[in-house]
Amino acid sequence: MTFTPSTLPAPNAATAAPALVDPFGRHVSYLRVSVTDRCDFRCVYCMSENMSFLPRKELLTLEELDRLCSAFVTKGVRKLRITGGEPLVRKNIMSLFKGLSRHLETGRLDELTLTTNGSQLSRYADELKACGVRRINVSIDTLDPVKFKAITRWGDLANVLAGLEAAKRAGISVKINAVALKGVNEHEIDDLIRFAHGEGHDLTLIETMPLGDIEGDRTDQYLPLSIVRARLLDNWTLEDLPLNTGGPARYVRIKETGGRLGFITPMTHNFCESCNRVRITCTGTLYMCLGQEDAADLRAPLRDNPDNGALFEAIDAAIARKPKGHDFVIDRRQKRPTLTRHMSVTGG
């Protein structure tokens, strides 16, 4: 069942604060929204193979997601990223993209984008482009089909690569995200660079984050990107870039390819000083920091009030509690995650 955004309660700009500013003077202009905790992969660093997913009745409806996102746009959010789980497995998800694209048309939103595993891109690339999506993030940790299957458990690399081609044909810019995993793909980084830059895509490397019980030992997986970067200097010339995309990545240009390479380092380099983003789960829980448990329930004010007054108040109160930084650490003694919450629940 689809919906018509114009029938939803419109955000009331008169009651909204002119901007969302946290206690440290950072303007919150970037919202990441999980539309589902479900995924058609079971990546070893993200999920258990036998995941227990939320009852569907607990998830926000597409109408509620549209209204919630629109409220944040009214309050000054300029960039909106749709995440999961895998967002494109949510039934009728394109209705949400079509609805939210109206904020691009009015100029109140600068960017509507998503993070995906690429499994559904062949099906949806053209529609995403028609909705104003100009760039996307696609997760690919290896170009070895057998190893890809082992990492994702259920994934098919050929299907994902076909999705990349579909996005490219549609004119959508692609950034490939790869989680650096010790003993798994650490010697494939050069190949990922050659592939990504050869196809005209950016590449970002990510340190594994201590979120959720994954039936494994993260001390075995963790690979500091400081080590990866030092190794890259054997084969590549890295030129630091002052690029700021509103996310946590620090970028370099690789002289030999001309392409961009990003590093996201929650463990070895705290990137919190410029944090301008918050996350909402598919149940309407707002996390002001990925690495903290403090959260605010937005589902209740969303469902209990036909107007947005109570919702705006709840958002303002939550942003006033946004912490200065996260507390990510891998406990090597207990071999357990910092937080029990899975990344797929929070929104990647």
Residue 282 annotated in ligand binding: no
131 is in an annotated binding site: no
Residue 56, annotated as binding a ligand: no
In this structure, what are the phi and psi dihedrals at residue 199, rounded to the nearest 5 degrees?
-90, 0
Confirm whether residue 259 is marked as ligand binding: no
Torsion sign over Cα 231, 241, 133, 64: positive
Q: What phi and psi, each to the nearest 5 degrees, are found at residue 217? A: -110, 110
Q: Is the dihedral of CA 238, 175, 133, 16 positive or negative?
A: negative
Q: Any known ligand binding at 278?
A: yes
- Nearest residue to 132 (alpha-carbon basis) of 64, 179, 83, 79: 79
* 160 assigned to a ligand binding site: no
Q: Is 218 annotated as a binding residue?
A: no
Torsion of Cα atoms, 180 then 183 then 185 then 187, to 10°: 110
Q: Is 69 annotated as a binding residue?
A: no
Q: How far, in Å, CA of 66 to CA of 7, rounded?
A: 11
On whether 45 is known to bind a ligand per the annotation, the reply is yes
Strand order in the sheet with 111-116: 238-240, 250-254, 260-264, 202-207, 173-180, 135-139, 111-116, 79-83, 30-34, 277-280, 285-287, 295-297
139 assigned ligand-binding residue: yes
98 is in an annotated binding site: no
**Strand intervals (E) in 216-288:** 238-240, 250-254, 260-264, 277-280, 285-287
Burial, 129: exposed, middle or buried (Cβ in 10 Å; 0-12, 13-18, 19+)?
middle
**Would you say 279 is a known binding-site residue?**
yes
Choose among 21, 17, 132, 139: nearest CA to 87: 139
Is 253 known as a binding-site position?
Answer: no
Residue 343, φ and ψ in degrees, nearest 5: -60, -35
Q: Is 115 annotated as a binding residue?
A: yes
Where is the binding site for [4Fe-4S] cluster, in residues? Answer: 39, 43, 46, 272, 275, 289
Where is the binding site, in residues? Answer: 32, 39, 43, 45-46, 81, 85, 115, 139, 175, 209, 272, 275, 277-279, 289
Where is the binding site for S-adenosyl-L-methionine, in residues? Answer: 45, 85, 139, 209
Where is the binding site for GTP, in residues? Answer: 32, 81, 115, 175, 277-279
